[in-house]
Structure 1
């Protein structure tokens, strides 16, 4: 017996493509009964905005064997059987090894990724033509236990002011869960470590202004009931869910771009694969044209240098990174040896 399958017509810059979807009835979100076909249709509906935000970048695919409650894995190498119309680009990883990653240039490529059981898309902050120099400064506002989305909102508004003082216009989206992601388009003239230092400089300045509300503490035991400013998401090969990407959460939420004017009146629960297509039709894409006037991180790097002279040094890197120059000891504070 032939396996169940269907075909979707996907418009794109090179005309329509007929994309096969096998097992279209497989349920991905059990609580809602949403299927693989529902997800593929969502990607068709939001395809133009999705590619505008995530296209022309190396992208990792978060794939699921059955549904979002089951086993998952990340694809960084192109899966076998990648269609000829989907290109790749070679990138260098923190280990200094390099290999190709997928680049999505049209909605049909995203639909094919769904066919390969992708739910969440993780684009790099750099373009395929210059993978070593990010063109986006990204800051992840992550509410810690005891805080929630409503705590991230005032932090995001204050961060917008900080970045404006540094000469950067910024854009915002929901994380799809409890947090917020702030993006500032920048000229791709600085490498990842510089951008990381710029993020730390902005985060430290926000921490000085809101010491009881936000934190840059890497160790969870030191964060308290605050919003964590996750500076390590600015590192090479560290990504967050892309704009308009679904999330592997029970309510089929989407990491959705919003306008700053909306921020204080929305709930992240408002944005799902069922609601975002109609939102795009009625509200439009708040990130349209976001790359028209990129800024520079020069002012933020000046703040970084000032903090260095004041005794504020490097912060911890992710545990899988090689030991980095100036990095403090990688040991949980409560387990550190106390001086005799």
Structure 2
């Protein structure tokens, strides 16, 4: 006698569809988790809202007559850029920015390296030296600028003039009011304030240098000077390249010290390009033109950030 077994019910089309959708959603979630996309998604959202979108919006604004007076903006194409390239004040401000970068970068790199070498060699209260040299970097820009403007550089009774008088030199120099000394005063303030960051990078790199290299060189009769020239400095080459790139980019973006200490004077001799953008946008109400000037400056910063590592890499390959 044959027993008939009931056949299994065929899956409905709707059930198959729901199962396929569920499987695809699980696969998509697994991909997001495996590749870490779920973790970087908040950063991408913030990055897009606060960097990518402002860049796109500013670029579009630079092609218009946008202003903050309430009048309707019109599309004017590249007229703002043509005006900016023919504007002597824009070029003067750009030159002040480049000149500050040249004057500040060299001492910031060299002083940071020297301080790191000293802190690495000192064995007595080493932590105190490190904190002392890094502490100014933690101060707000307003505090640093007011400290130097009201205590270091005032003519006659400031610390700078007192040092000149004690050395038998003529005091009463207009450190912040004389075109010959205003930029130098801002550079000195910046070096004292920000050298701690470069010092910290160099100190971390020095601590990573293998100690056995120094021991082997000492056994071969190499003195401290030879060990510095042939071991320490070559092994710090990559750190120096990093410090140079970061320092040049930071110096090109100078604004706080100049605005708080000299206001761009005397006679706009210290006004950087970012202050000129600020004046055109919020004092002259020309947001479109200020955007065009800022994109001219952005092109300069982009060129520097792309060219400098290439030159450093070629120099490193040539030295091998």
Q: How would you bin the TM-score normalised by the shorter chain? A: under 0.3
> TM-score under structure 2 normalisation?
0.24
Give the number of the structure whose alpha-carbon radius of gyration is greater.
2
> TM-score under structure 1 normalisation?
0.23
Larger fraction in helix: 2
Which of structures 1 and 2 has the larger relative contact order (alpha carbons within 8 angstroms, sep 6+)?
2
